[in-house]
Structure 1
Amino acid sequence: MTVSVREATAADVEAIRAVAEDAWYAALGGALDPAEIAGALETYYDPEVVTAGIESDAIAFYVASVDGAVCGFTSAERTWADEVELHTIYVHPDRWGEGIGSALLDRAETWARGEGVDRVACGVLAGNAVGIGFLEAVGFERGRATEAEIVGTTYEEYEYEYNLRAEAEA
């Protein structure tokens, strides 16, 4: 199996939405009500919203594919002088454990290093055991607990950070 990671294009919007849907239900099905997941997907993965993210000069947006089929995606944005925020990183549940998330993260981190930042940060819902397990396995450190709103409902979220500078100094 060969994983290919490339910049996302408008032609990828439907595939990105399909991966998001399956990943959200698989990773968050026990933490969020199905109606909340449906509402979040409708809001956050509206075709116009996804297209705007892909076309934004401020957002790095990549897709991963195996045998030409999109099976994951990630997006990141420089939010502070010394920080890139990882907005999304999702892999289709049928492909979990195959290194696709790591390939996507590597590409996002390469982009972040090119931006000259010290760290990559992201937030993960406390009920997302899959996301938490992935980030901790690849070296992100959990910070403080905060709150995140998902279509009108507040949930506990953890802040995670990966220190790019420490990696470079090691």
Structure 2
Amino acid sequence: MASTASVRPAERGDVPGIQRVARAAWHEAYDDCFGEAAVAAMVDEAYDEDVLERMIGLDEVGLFVAAHDGEVVGYASCGMTEPASIGDLDIYVHPDHWGEGIGTALLERGEQHLREVGTMTIRDEVLVENEVGNAFYRRHFEEAGQRTVDFGGEEKTVAVYEKSL
């Protein structure tokens, strides 16, 4: 299905919409893995208003929103994470809008930004328990393997995905 959302750089006024999408997407994807209270704490920390506003102001960080009828329905954050021209691109879409092509539109905009800052490869990690996230990344990236990471003292397996730009 083609997306009817428009993708543009995030603005300060988008912060509440980004937080709303993050909360809904994280709870849908991770509650079974971490529990509702832990997910709420992770979202509160990662999507603090001051953090998001700083990200909006940084040229090297791409923070983009997908909006439909004036409402933020998805976002992507990206930037170079390693000096070897490797970048990271995180995409979240409100669960009410999964399957509408919004993630793909955000991916395309994020890739454009990463090319502009000199990224040659995107490398992302998705918890293996996140079925929706893995399905999306498998459609657009090559799976490069798995590794174990520590989430607050708990070992979790992530799938590692890569894509050359």
TM-score > 0.5, shorter chain as reference = yes
For this pair of structures, how many residues does the alignment match?
A: 162
- What letter corresponds to residue 100 of structure 2 in structure 1? E
Residues in 1 aligned to 2:153 and 2:18: alpha-carbon distance in whole angstroms: 24
Structure 1 pair 8–42 and aligned structure 2 pair: CA distance change class (3 A) = same
RMSD over aligned CA atoms reads 1.6
Residues in 2 aligned to 1:147 and 1:31: alpha-carbon distance in whole angstroms: 15
TM-superposed CA distance for 1:57, in Å, is 2.6
The answer on whether the counterparts of 1:146 and 1:157 sit within 8 Å (CA) in structure 2 is: yes
Consecutive unaligned residues of structure 2, counting only runs of 5 or more, are none
TM-superposed CA distance for 1:142, in Å, is 1.5
1:160 equivalent in structure 2: 161
TM-superposed CA distance for 1:32, in Å, is 1.9
Q: Spell out structure 1 runs of 4+ moving beyond 6 A.
A: none
Residues in 2 aligned to 1:124 and 1:51: alpha-carbon distance in whole angstroms: 25
Consecutive unaligned residues of structure 1, counting only runs of 5 or more, are 165-170
State the TM-score, normalizing by the size of structure 2: 0.90
- What letter corresponds to residue 142 of structure 1 in structure 2? E
Residues in 2 aligned to 1:3 and 1:13: alpha-carbon distance in whole angstroms: 17
Residues in 1 aligned to 2:16 and 2:152: alpha-carbon distance in whole angstroms: 21
2:49 equivalent in structure 1: 47
2:142 equivalent in structure 1: 141
The answer on whether the counterparts of 2:77 and 2:91 sit within 8 Å (CA) in structure 1 is: yes
Residues in 1 aligned to 2:114 and 2:128: alpha-carbon distance in whole angstroms: 25
